[in-house]
Amino acid sequence: MCGLKEIKCVVWDLDNTVWDGIILEGDEVKLKPGIKTVIETLDNRGILNSISSKGNYEDAMQKLKEFNLHKYFLYPQISWNAKSISIAKIQQILNISMDTFMFVDDQRFERDEVRSEHPEILCIAAEEYKNMLSCPYLKPKFITQDSKRRRLMYMEDNQRKKDEDLFNGPRKDFLQSLNIHFTISEAKDDDLERAEELTIRTNQLNATGKTYSYDELKKIMGSESHRLLACEMRDKYGTYGKIGIALTEDSEDYVHIKLLLMSCRVMSFGVGTVLLSYIMQEARKNGQKVRADFKHTGRNKIMYTTFKFGNFKEVLKNESDIILENDVSFIQDFPPYVKVTTP
């Protein structure tokens, strides 16, 4: 039943899937045996849950509240739209790849309809829910504090967006009102699990697309020529957790960025260059230039754009592998609405 990639979101049908019976037919619906444990465990593992189901929204949500399950589902889509359309809406809001979704439905027709529009989604029959927790693609290697809070972070972000819609004034004033704190620090042992998770989960904003294991990162931390940085962001709504990492290698003349990545969730706040600017500031203090590895993956074009806006120039290119360089004569300032704490 398992797909090729780690699943980030499970989208559930309701009638005869999450519960036995059909609400609109007046059935006295009952939860499938053990399904609440499945949903709660997925949530605890940092895997998001949502809903794509046909029916009346108010009736379905009321029943979910009675079962105390409503809080686990982000952006539930309960309507008479095609389920492929509902899932597309969920994907757009969550901003994660469609090939990291799983869809669970009791009707083969509905699974085929979703598969026809989104062939990259893993679609499974409702009765397979009993085996879901043993599926390796629903079992992250590490369960970090950030992954445990993933749903809550999305909920905080939802409130943040609602407040921004109601804010009367320029966006820079709204960003100023958030009291954004951005902390850069040397990675510690308890950051390594999250760092590995970030390299695996981050595709669009990973400069090389490379992933690193916990053991590889642990070894790098023991190297005198390497530096592993982690950054965290919070504002008045809560913490975003660890949202970026950088791996650099020092030589006499250069700081070489071997890996730079940032969570997609924070890019809209204009903080994507903060970590890069810090690395460049430190290099300039030490009389070094900065080089950076970049590899086109088909998804990370925005990272190449980030380097180019930062005045990096290509000095070596081999097919999709590129080395960029900056003489640190120009360094972008930190955004004025962000308080940056550095080592």
On whether residue 2 sits in a domain, the answer given is no
Domain co-membership, 86 together with 64:
yes
Lowest mean pLDDT among 18-27, 46-55, 112-121: 18-27
On whether residue 195 sits in a domain, the answer given is yes
On whether residue 3 sits in a domain, the answer given is no
On whether residue 122 sits in a domain, the answer given is yes
On whether residue 327 sits in a domain, the answer given is yes
Domain count, the chain: 2
pLDDT band at 220 (very low <50, low <70, confident <90, very high): confident
Which domain CATH number covers 132? 3.40.50.1000
What is the full DSSP assignment across 36-61? HHHHHHHHHTT-EEEEEEES-HHHHH
Lowest mean pLDDT among 20-29, 50-59, 100-109: 20-29
Which domain CATH number covers 214? 3.40.630.30
DSSP secondary structure letter of residue 128: G
On whether residue 1 sits in a domain, the answer given is no
138, 167, 194 — which closes off a domain? 138
Domain co-membership, 83 together with 182:
no
**Residue 222 CA: distances (Å) to CA of 14, 216, 219, 254, 283:** 50, 10, 5, 20, 21
pLDDT at 126 over 60: yes
Q: In the predicted model, what is the mean pLDDT of residues 106-131?
A: 97
138, 154, 174 — which closes off a domain? 138
Domain co-membership, 314 together with 196:
yes
112, 138, 164 — which closes off a domain? 138
What pTM, to 2 d.p., does this model score? 0.77
pLDDT at 8 over 60: yes
Q: 39: closest CA among 65, 63, 16, 10?
A: 10
On whether residue 176 sits in a domain, the answer given is yes
With beta carbons less than 8 A apart as the criterion, state whether 255 and 219 touch.
no
Q: Which domain holds residue 133?
A: 9-138
On whether residue 276 sits in a domain, the answer given is yes
CA 307 to chain centroid, in Å, comes to 21
| Mean of pLDDT over the chain | 92
Domain co-membership, 160 together with 103:
no
